[in-house]
Amino acid sequence: MVSSPHEAMHRIFEQDPGLFARAVRALGIEFPDAIAATSLPTDLTENRPLERRVDTLLKIETVEGDFLLAVEAQGKKDLDKPHSWAYYLAHLYAKYKLPPVLLVVCQDRNTAAWAALPVDIGPPEWPALTVRPLVLGPDNVPMVSAPAEAARDIPLAVLSAMLHGRDRGIDAILKALAAALKGLEVLDPETATIFVELTSQGLDKTWAAKIWRDLVVVDTSFFTSSLSQEIRAEGEAKGRAADILRILDRRGIPVADTDRERITSCDDLDALTLWFDRAITAASIAEVFAEDLSDQEQ
């Protein structure tokens, strides 16, 4: 199953293909700025059972010429991946007749160090092909922690948040990003929402995800993204569940652990509202969970 960070780490380059050239300059590598970019099919499957797909594939146009950018989000070491990458690059070059560049994006430092190692294909006396990915990770993507800096390059600030989600200082990065997105929302609310969602996906289940969720709700409540709506719904559900248990406890109604778990894990506001109403007069937890009379009649 593809994880949220995996999706976010390559989709950010779809959102802003120019981010590639700006980000790898930190590595001392100069690519010309993109003047246009075209999303290409990510399916690299040939007419045979073997299926291979790159995460994101873009044709980058610059004043110095065009090239293909294949972006791979790598969550952990995979010794088979260099073989796939070699296939991607050879296939893309043969299909599009354009020079391909492989960019690997990693949140984990050890994975980034592994991915950056060149892989020679062929005998040691004369390797026929060398796979040399460009790698972006926590050690070479800067920590964008100043609001003005984040506002100057929001996509880079989003990438910084994704890759430094487990580092000290992530709270400053997220606060700077939230402030920058607040300014962007005035001009382009749709794009601001996309960056909110990508940041949430990139942080996934890290402890920094809660910081971001709190910032989106409290400091940037102007966002109307599905993330914000989801968070508010979760908050309402948790509050209603707590009210139900408080009423039952105050009325002396015994609540077994399994029933307590059923209430606290429920995210259906309609069901919780019904249970809340019943908890006011119910003589037992069974009455709280009883089927509606209309259902019984049917």
pLDDT of amino acid 234: 67
pLDDT of amino acid 135: 95
pLDDT of amino acid 31: 86
Could you say which residues of the chain have pLDDT below 70?
1-3, 46-51, 217-235, 291-298
pLDDT of amino acid 11: 85
Share of the chain above pLDDT 70, in %: 88
Which tokens belong to 214? 């709190």
pLDDT of amino acid 109: 94
Collect all residues with Cβ–Cβ distance below 8 Å to 21 and sequence separation of at least 6: 30, 31, 32, 33, 34
Threshold 0.75, pTM exceeds: no
pLDDT of amino acid 46: 65
pLDDT of amino acid 192: 87
Q: 133-181: per-residue pLDDT in tens?
A: 999 999 999 999 999 999 999 999 999 999 999 998 999 999 999 999 9
pLDDT of amino acid 66: 95
> CB-hemisphere CA count at 13 Å for 87?
14
